[in-house]
Amino acid sequence: MDHSRMRKDATEIFAAGVARVDPRPMVRDALRLEGPVLTVEAGGRAAAWDLRRFDRILVLGFGKAGARMARGAEEALGDRLSGGVVAVKRGHAEPCSTVRILEASHPVPDESSVRAARAVMEAARGADERTLVLVLVSGGGSAILCAPYDRDGRSLTLDDKAAVTRELLACGADIREINAVRRHLSAVKGGRLAEILAPAAVVTLILSDVVGDELASIASGPTVPDPTTWSDALGIVRRFGIQDRIPEAARSLLEDGAAGRLPDTPKAGDRAFRNVRNIVLGSNRRAALAAAARARELGYRTLYLGSRITGEAREIARAYLGMALDCAADGVPRSRPACLIAGGETTVTLRGSGKGGRNQEMALSFLAGLGDSESRLARRICFLSAGTDGNDGPTDAAGAFADAELLEAARAAGSGPRDYLAANDSYAFFDRIGGLLRTGPTNTNVCDLQVVLVR
């Protein structure tokens, strides 16, 4: 069985999904100027603004896809665009002619993230009722735009917020839980940017990196009503047992908020959202469907499994392996050559001190299970799990492959998949045997894609 050919096919299928959610054409095509009227159209819905009501159009943005989104806005609006500030993950910048691009740290914020937040907030404070603001939001915005809580006589430091983020990432909390806490420890998230922008007209264009496209969780919902409370945030910290591991200033802020001693984030119906429109442009589902279409073009009998896959990465891998083995043995749920496509965002509970990401962990768990499977079936299977942003955890890889050829390479190198899995050291394992997928930053971000091929 030619596993290099299967890996090439899997890479093409993944790339087709990423191309479908390229932010530059998505933003450019969503914005349409006809005389003095700007129409924003996405997902079959359209809204229009008469530009004669405004003195300027301002772009604000944050997230891994921010630079490409800004370029799309510049191409659509031309000299109608007055300027703006967009913050992106370090290494994800692209040249823009009108919008200023700032680079910041992700996933753990640093001083560059604070500087980026200050620049965006300063620009936002200059908006008035004669300003139309395009807010460009994409995954990673929570860390990239870091403005620690500083109001009502209370404040947090960057170190306080970074420590909370590290604990949340390490304990296995999912993105909704992480963002519920971070919204309440921020001066700009959870609808607080909308408070700053009011009374300006705001159109937020969103590239979703959250399973189910829950607006309040994408970049922590800066222009969206916050459905969670101080009590919810405190409950998450207590449920994962990290209340004694986060800084005292953050814990006391959560406790005082839950006790009603601090105002909560703005909720639905708040006047801050009176002139705000939030629109989702791209999502994991759209990427997965494009990937499935490419698989069919390559001759695979394809099944789309959905875009809301969550849970522990190593456990989800076992489910994919089970389906792959059924395809290989019995031709169900698809006869060979088969392709199963899925998307979502899993989590990793850290048990060791190794290096990797959720996609590499999933591939490593898949490979470990493949090694226990009947060899005649295992040889028919190739698996790829990768992040659409090109970054899997704190590594330079998008994800990793799993197949029988790589398993043989690991055995020849004396590398046991389960030993590396126990140490959460998937990057070192796959780097050693040549199983990593390195795409470089894609400047988009809509969670992860999994591709299962069975010949």
Q: Which CATH number does the domain housing residue 358 bear?
A: 3.40.1480.10
Given the DSSP bridges, would you call strands 399-403 and 436-437 parallel, antiparallel or unpaired?
antiparallel
Which residue has better confidence, 196 or 108?
Answer: 196
Q: Are residues 8 and 48 in the same domain?
A: no
Q: Pick from 180, 124, 133: which is nearest to 277 by CA?
A: 133
Mean pLDDT across the chain, nearest whole number? 94
Q: Are residues 199 and 348 in the same domain?
A: no
Whether 410 and 433 have beta carbons less than 8 Å apart is answered as yes
Q: Are residues 219 and 294 in the same domain?
A: no
Q: Is residue 402 part of a domain?
A: yes
Q: Is residue 71 part of a domain?
A: yes
Q: Are residues 292 and 414 in the same domain?
A: yes
The DSSP element (H or E) to which 160 belongs, if any, is helix 158-171
Tell me: pLDDT of 344 over 70: yes
Q: Are residues 342 and 203 in the same domain?
A: no
Q: Is residue 440 part of a domain?
A: yes
pLDDT tens track for 134-166: 999 998 888 899 999 998 899 999 999 889 988
Tell me: pLDDT of 308 over 80: yes
Give the relative orientation of helices 404-412 and 426-433 as an angle to the nearest 10 degrees: 90
Q: Are residues 270 and 389 in the same domain?
A: no
Q: Is residue 181 part of a domain?
A: no
Given the DSSP bridges, would you call strands 338-344 and 448-454 parallel, antiparallel or unpaired?
antiparallel
pLDDT band at 249 (very low <50, low <70, confident <90, very high): very high
Q: Are residues 383 and 364 in the same domain?
A: yes
Q: Is residue 172 part of a domain?
A: no
In the numeric block, which tokens belong to residue 417?
């998949």
Whether 88 and 141 have beta carbons less than 8 Å apart is answered as no
Q: Are residues 328 and 217 in the same domain?
A: no
Query: How many separate domains does the chain show?
Result: 2
- Express as a percent the part of the chain with pLDDT over 70: 100
Tell me: pLDDT of 238 over 70: yes
Q: Are residues 388 and 278 in the same domain?
A: no
First to last CA, the chain: 8
Q: Is residue 257 part of a domain?
A: no
Q: Are residues 7 and 49 in the same domain?
A: no
pLDDT band at 197 (very low <50, low <70, confident <90, very high): very high
Q: Is residue 254 part of a domain?
A: no
**Bridge partners of 57?**
81, 132
pLDDT tens track for 60-113: 999 999 999 999 999 999 999 999 999 999 999 999 999 999 999 988 788 999
Collapsed DSSP state (helix, strand, coil) of residue 159: helix
What residue numbers bound the domain in which 76 lies? 23-147+186-228+265-282
pLDDT tens track for 265-275: 999 999 999 99
Q: Are residues 221 and 363 in the same domain?
A: no
Q: How many of the other CB atoms lie within 10 Å of CB of 184?
A: 29
The CA distance from 433 to 429, in Å, is 7
In the numeric block, which tokens belong to residue 130?
């004669």
CATH number of domain containing 193: 3.40.50.10180
Q: How many of the other CB atoms lie within 10 Å of CB of 153?
A: 6
Q: Is residue 57 part of a domain?
A: yes
Tell me: pLDDT of 1 over 70: no
Q: Are residues 272 and 365 in the same domain?
A: no
Give residue 176's pLDDT.
80
